A and B are shown apart, each in its own frame.
Chain A
């Protein structure tokens, strides 16, 4: 298990939900997928969700599944309505310039330490 704050500097992560505190978010793994039903069927609570999808429905999916943080790869930036909804639901949103592959690899290494 790691804290989100340990991961963010390694991925040049930008936190779009400053009202939520990333230091309280604990991560035990990640699920990398852009198909929402696959995420709901297989992701687990305490996993980060790495994806390029950034419309409003991803917040509902994360909320239903118990996912605490979504990491948008390749500089995908959510719009304000999505950020507001995420803040309301307590889901941290992070953007990174890295690819989903690199984001997963870096997290995997960090967790294996």
Chain B
């Protein structure tokens, strides 16, 4: 992926988009066209045995559809990190995967408690993971950076005390 610029539009919105693609990508986040396939999963709080199932199903489906293995790896990693974050840091939420013929758009919406400072949360190594989460091997503070690194566009919208929306796009053609 090309070098990216981070653009902060407001306190509660964080975007990371490949340079020059802002408008094209924003259209994608709110596409009118119906997705070819829509998959929904719920992600319960702190349920680490089941967190990851949504990402795994999406990965299996895309594999059957013939998506390139490196693109598939990027989608799987970004999706799994986001799914684990909802389980680890929120009171639970929903994952919605919208699959089009040229790209995938995955949205995670949780029930709070929100991220007070998104820029700080994006810093590699920053983590508020509790002991349980760390026991499972999470809490390196690398999940959000991994999502950014592996997606073509990332949007996070949150604030303290609110729900968090995290959504990203990955195009199938490189």
Q: Report A49-73 residues with CB < 8 Å from chain B CB.
A: 53, 55-58, 60-61, 63-66
Contact string against A for B residues 55-84, beta-carbon threshold 8 Å, 1 for contact and 0 otherwise? 110010000000001000100110111001
Contacts A37-B146, A41-B149, A60-B52 given; does A65 touch B137 at CB 8 Å: no
Contact string against A for B residues 127-147, beta-carbon threshold 8 Å, 1 for contact and 0 otherwise? 000000000111111110110
Smallest CB–CB gap between B102 and chain A, Å? 22
**B69–A66 contact, CB under 8 A?**
yes
Smallest CB–CB gap between B48 and chain A, Å? 6
Q: Which residues of B contact A58 (CB under 8 A)?
A: 137
**B73–A37 contact, CB under 8 A?**
no
CA distance A56 to B51 in the complex (A): 10
Tell yes or no: B49 within 8 A of A by CB: yes
Across the interface, B73 reaches (CB within 8 A) one of A38, A45, A53, namely: A45
Smallest CB–CB gap between A14 and chain B, Å? 22
Tell yes or no: A110 within 8 A of B by CB: no
Q: Which residues of A contact B136 (CB under 8 A)?
A: 36, 55, 57
Residue total for A at the interface (Cβ-Cβ under 8 A): 19
Chain A, Cβ-Cβ closest to B135: A55
Q: Which residues of B contact A37 (CB under 8 A)?
A: 81, 138, 140-143, 146
Smallest CB–CB gap between B171 and chain A, Å? 19
Contact string against A for B residues 27-57, beta-carbon threshold 8 Å, 1 for contact and 0 otherwise? 0000000000000000000001101100110
Smallest CB–CB gap between A94 and chain B, Å? 18
CA distance A34 to B137 in the complex (A): 6
Tell yes or no: A35 within 8 A of B by CB: yes
Question: Among the interface residues A36, A37, A55, which one has the most CB atoms of the partner chain B within 10 A?
Answer: A37
Smallest CB–CB gap between A103 and chain B, Å? 18
Q: Which residues of A contact B52 (CB under 8 A)?
A: 57, 60
Q: Which residues of B contact A40 (CB under 8 A)?
A: 77, 80-81, 142, 146
Q: Which residues of B contact A35 (CB under 8 A)?
A: 137-140, 142
Q: Which residues of A contact B69 (CB under 8 A)?
A: 45, 66
Q: Report A15-46 residues with CB < 8 Å from chain B CB.
A: 34-38, 40-41, 45
Chain B, Cβ-Cβ closest to A60: B52
CA distance A63 to B80 in the complex (A): 10
Known contacts A37-B81, A60-B56, A61-B80; can you find 8 more A-B pairs with CB under 8 A? A35-B137, A36-B138, A40-B80, A55-B48, A57-B138, A60-B80, A64-B55, A66-B69
A-B pairs with beta carbons under 8 Å apart, 14 shown: A35-B138, A36-B137, A36-B140, A37-B81, A37-B143, A37-B146, A40-B142, A41-B146, A55-B136, A57-B84, A57-B138, A60-B56, A64-B73, A66-B69
